[in-house]
Amino acid sequence: MRKLSWSPRSLAVLMLVLSALSTHARAQELFPRGRTRAVVVSARAWADRAFGAPDPGPRLDGDLVNVLAANARSRADVVGLTDAQATLANVRASLARQAAATARGETLVVYLGGIGGRLQNGAPYLATFDTASNALPTTALTGPDIARHLAGRPFQGALIVLLADAAPAGVALAAADELSRAGVPVVALASVEASNAAPLTWTFTRTLLSVLGGDPLADRNGDRQLTLDELALELRDAMKFLDRQRLGQFDKGQNPQLLVARVRGGAKKARTPDAGSYVLVPGEDRRQAFMGRVVKRTKGEVLVRLVTMPNAPIDAFESGDVQPVTFRTFPVKSRLRIRSGAGELVGRVRLLDDVFHSMQYKGQPWLTEWVADERILGVATHVVPPPPPPPPPPTAQTLTPVNPPEAVQVEIDGRWWSGVLTAKMTTPLNVLWCVRVPMGPRTFEECVQPARVRRPEAPPPVVPVNPFPPGALVQVDWKGKWYPAIVKEAEPTRWHIRYEGWSEMWNEWVTIDRIKAR
């Protein structure tokens, strides 16, 4: 056999080719090992108590920091800012510092978690630890603010990945749009659309960690590799089935086959076509149905992993007991009653995408959101109003100011709003009350019939003390183990609870033998 000989010049060319191939391989990873930096911002406590008391519930931001640190060159390349550390100045400085340090071929990850809202101009914001509720434009973190600090000097890295759980979703998506316009390669995944608001249930972060850990159920094509596209599909389904929310996503021009993680476990196994799909299975008493995911389907039997309880095992169910999860949908232009807080809104369906309805609400043109069937109370009955009577002949009017203005409630489109009575208009035919009602970015000012105005309702009467009133922090027994929960509703002999950190799909009524104070 002839022995190959290499000249110094040939060896140099070979090394350059191998180096280029190695760099190309790393560039195909979303979080390249040894070439990932991160800033994790998770504010669940605030100096301004207008944002609420600190949240003592379980959290997953520390787990995410550890996972990202495993892909970094050193632990110092991953900055974690939680609660009192997450001040506006610290967040801005960390973003700018990490962006400036990100070298060619490296990925910068920015994770946002916490609460927020919208400024008067409609821009979404994240409340940092020191955000002041009376000075939001100058003390809250916004999408353009993030973009400025990430691209303040030319970004040299391969990609910026923005991740957001709960209220900061709109902030991350707005930042992604700004960065893309500036020519910065960026991907954003958020637990909800920018138009929606959602509580922090950790469903998004828990699913993200599951994919980063190589969950076999995330492997949609069975190739033992989890890609950016498969990560987005996992997050989309988790938010859809568990939280009834529509995933927010921005990935213009990015390769959907970027490698996120490799499937954990042994050799490649045959994959059931419906593996990973969400289903409903019966509980032990067969009176409740629980959410799960198909692991494997065999003849007459289905292996299902429950997803609404911690550390749930894989159980076997008869095929007939495993049912698909269904959603109600309504056609475009339908008028629907939508649950909103403690009341309801009436709106019209603008768009229908999968199981989500894009709603436009009557009297509030600035408010649009995506809604699934869990919040749909039913079709709004359309009543055709009678033709208006002919206008009366012009008459003299007398306007008497109410000074000082009186606090009242005004009926507008079937809903009572808080406002003030500013004047009373007297004509020969009737008397009208002139009111002013703040409604978001606009103000309702009109003279209406006195029947549409009422004094503010008196406070509710004092009711007997319940051992576990709504909002009480309790522990609930489930299969011999106690889990932290919060009381949503209370009756004399039973309580409706929600397990902390878990989807509302697991809410249930419990009796005194299964509940105790913490």
Note the pLDDT tens digit of each residue in 326-379. 999 999 999 999 888 768 889 999 999 999 999 998 777 767 889 998 889 989
- 169's CB contacts (< 8 A; 6+ apart) are 124, 190, 191, 192, 193, 194, 196, 198, 248
Query: Can you give the pLDDT at residue 16?
Result: 46
Residue corresponding to tokens 């169910």? 317
In the structure encoding, which two tokens stand for residue 275, read together?
């593996």
Please state the φ and ψ torsions of residue 435, each to the nearest 5 degrees: -125, 160
In the structure encoding, which two tokens stand for residue 296, read together?
């494997």
Query: Can you give the pLDDT at residue 479?
Result: 80
Query: Can you give the pLDDT at residue 458?
Result: 58
Query: Can you give the pLDDT at residue 150?
Result: 93
Query: Can you give the pLDDT at residue 500?
Result: 87
| Cβ neighbours of 501 (radius 10 Å) | 18
In the structure encoding, which two tokens stand for residue 419, read together?
């406002």
At 486, is the secondary structure helix, strand, or coil?
strand
Distance CA 109, CA 71 (A): 11
Residues of the chain with pLDDT under 70: 1-27, 266-270, 308-312, 342, 366, 382-397, 427-429, 439-444, 457-465
CA 470 to chain centre: 24
State the sign of the Cα–Cα–Cα–Cα dihedral 11, 17, 18, 19.
positive
State the sign of the Cα–Cα–Cα–Cα dihedral 345, 125, 113, 477.
negative
Query: Can you give the pLDDT at residue 141?
Result: 94
pLDDT one-digit tens code per residue, 257-313 = 899 999 987 556 667 788 889 999 988 777 788 889 999 988 889 999 988 665 667
